[in-house]
Structure 1
Amino acid sequence: MTDTARSDAAAPRRLDVAQTLLFVPATRPDRFAKALASGAHAIIVDLEDAVAPEDKATARDSVAAWLSEGEWTGAGSDTAVVVRINAADTDWFAPDVSALAAVASRLSTVAAERSGHYAQCPFGVMIPKCESEDPVHEIRQRFTQHGVAAPYFIGLLETPRGIVAADSLARAHSVHRFAFGNYDLGLELDASVGPEETELLHARSRVVMAARAFGMPGPIDGPCADFSTDGATEASAQRGRALGFAGKLAIHPRQLAAIDAEFGDSAEDVAWARRVVDAAEAAGGAAVNVDGAMVDAPVLKRAQRIVARAGR
């Protein structure tokens, strides 16, 4: 996918800097509003792993109905919504995509009439077992057939082929952001993965390297399944942040504070970053000193990232 195609893709851009992304089962519409109010930067309504085969159709209908109501897009809502669809090699993939494209079309009709262009899709789509551009193209085609630009894509890399394809996916900007699927990958590798997941270190680093090398937002680390043991989520988040991940999936609301604490920026960091960015802009490219230190390109880039996150 070209950069032009990517720029045309409708995307809730705050997903570029979302640090906490909370899963909620698609079979529990009673939890959708609670998840939105949890403080997560985004919720991921899950049509895949959280739904038994016999419940797929009902769950899809429930999600489509909830999205169509549009209450989640109301004023004051700072939480982005993402739907994890079923994998492209399943019988549920096409119905999932068709249902979401139809919902996006209904939600976006007014905006499209006003602008004369494809309307933006107000929710994102997570593609599980992302290994190539093929499912991206299929989703894009179905959405444009409904008169809606493609959604924000999160590619979930959770298979050996997905990890190996990270470079090519990032180079082509096939998806907007990567997420790392630690548990599925461990199973696929038939690895004996310990609590610190050192066995997956190479795969994690490869995802971060690919994203950073080709200008993608920092990738999202996989979840910590242990949400009841004190310190487990904190330790997992610290390891991910140290490797260069920029956010983390969560499976329970009680994990959000720990993830935010690790991936978030302090008020002092944000204030410093804004001083740096403002000083650099005022200098018009000339050398500048902030707080007694020279601002070079790497320092400015770090400051710009912090400011971008603060403006989420």
Structure 2
Amino acid sequence: MSEIQSRPYRSFLFVPGSRPDRFEKALGSGGDAVILDLEDAVAPEDKDVARHHVVAWLAPERPVLVRVNAASTPYYERDVELGKLRGVAGIVLPKAESAHDVIDLISRIRRKIPVYPLIESARGMWNALEIAKAPCVRQLMFGTLDFGADMNMESDGDGLDTFRVQLTMISRVAGIRAPVDGVTPSIDNAGQLRAETIKARRFGFAGKLCIHPSQVSIVNRTFAPSEAEREWARRVLCAFENANGAAVAVDGKMVDRPVFLKAQSILDDVRS
């Protein structure tokens, strides 16, 4: 298993597949995962050229994710073939609306590979639990811009928060990693990015999609446990281990097993 598959991610950086000059720079951005994008970031007339650039650059020593075009497009079949190549550590599947979409993808690739379905429509949200339970699904991603358009809702502000909670709960029920929040389109507004990332974390998301390298460090820092959280976690583990099964309190609050597990997860984050 490659490194990119074996650990949780906080930041996912999109890079246009038509811009091979940016591939190496993206790897050096500090992003936990780089997504070579064949879909929204590439104009229709450049799709074939972008796919060629990605194939020519892929290598096992630099694993990346690839976002293919949706199954309804004429580019899908050729895009999916990239999933068979070494260096592709996972597929981001746009416009996912049913478990069948994931199953079809895996059947074409003919190997087990992590799949990251993008929930971008009302139908996709309605069927999100079955999508999350489909084979090889690693995490759900929330395509907030397309979802907002499909629902005729604003994609910023609080309008989509109900659906964020839903995706977090669905991921938990399905037994997969917590979901990934959508992009912040304003690449020059660090305050907005930080606020939206804080919200995503509070709603139980594990990471966020990025569209510019400058966004990566803010996302990583915001999702990382603070020193205060790590110190709290150390106190909880120490108290819990010394209690020998007896009731124990930390900072005036009772510590039971769920609290212990939360503290353990904070300290298990090797990147903290």
TM-score (norm 2): 0.87
Residue 130 of structure 1 aligns with an amino acid whose one-letter code is A
Q: Which has the higher helix share?
A: 1
Give yes or no for the alignment of 1:184 onto 2:176.
no
Identity %: 37
Work out the CA distance in 1 between the residues paired with 2:135 and 2:3: 14
Within 5 Å, which residues of 2 pair with 1:37-48?
Answer: 37-48=28-39
- Deviation of the 1:132 alpha carbon: 1.3
Cα offset for 1:256? 1.7
Matched, 1:131 2:97: yes
What does residue 13 of structure 1 align with? 5
Q: Distance in 2 between matches of 1:295 and 1:173?
A: 36
1:92 to 37, 59, 75: 75
Amino acid aligned to 2:262: R
Task: Give distance in 1, aligned partners of 2:115 and 2:61.
Answer: 22
Checking the alignment, whether the CA contact within 8 Å between 2:210 and 2:216 is kept in structure 1 is yes
Aligned mates of 2:246, 2:175 — CA distance in 1: 25
Query: 1:262 Cα shift?
Result: 1.9
Corresponding residue for residue 106 of structure 2 = 140
Contact 2:12 2:34 in 1 (8 A): yes
Partner of 1:3: none
State the partner residue of 1:236.
Answer: 196
Deviations 1:167-217 (A, max 9, x none): 2223456611011010001111122x1641x22222222111211223221
Q: Relative contact order, CA 8 A, sep 6+: which one is greater?
A: 1
Distance 1:287 1:220 in 2: 38
What is the one-letter code of the residue matched to 1:233?
L
Provide Cα deviations, 1:103-133, integer angstroms capped at 9, x if missing partner.
23xx6xxxxxxxxxxxxxx511101011112
Q: Output the CA distance in 1 between the equivalents of 2:233 and 2:137.
A: 28
Structure 2: gaps (5+ residues): none
> Equivalent residue for 1:22?
13
Aligned in 2, Cα 1:195/1:58: closer, same or farther, shift over 3 Å?
Answer: same
One-letter amino acid matched to 1:52? A
Distance 1:19 1:126 in 2: 15
What is the aligned counterpart of 2:176 among 200, 216, 225?
216
Which residue identity is paired with 2:54? V
Quote the Cα distance in structure 2 between the aligned partners of 1:35 and 1:58. 19
Q: Is the 8 A contact 1:10 1:150 kept in 2?
A: no
Amino acid at match of 1:86: N
Kindly tell me: are residues 228 and 181 of structure 1, through their superposed partners in 2, closer, same or farther at Cα, counting changes over 3 Å? same
CA distance in 2, matches of 1:279, 1:62: 55
Structure 1 portions without partners, runs of 5+: 1-8, 74-80, 108-121
1:134-163 Cα deviation digits (max 9, x unpaired): 23222322333xxxx321111110111111
The reply to whether residue 66 of structure 1 matches residue 57 of structure 2 is yes
8 Å CA contact 1:220–1:247 kept in 2: the answer is yes
Distance 1:237 1:64 in 2: 32
- Rounded to whole Å, the distance in 2 between the matches of 1:201 and 1:307 is 28
1:202 aligns to what SS in structure 2? helix
Distance between the aligned counterparts of 1:51 and 1:130, measured in 2?
19
- The change in CA–CA distance for 1:294 and 1:66 in structure 2 (over 3 A counts) is same
Deviation at 1:165, TM superposition (A): 0.8
Q: Is the 8 A contact 1:241 1:263 kept in 2?
A: yes
**Aligned partner of residue 184 in structure 2, secondary structure:** coil
Q: Is the 8 A contact 1:275 1:290 kept in 2?
A: no
**Equivalent residues of 1:123, 1:151 under 8 A apart:** yes
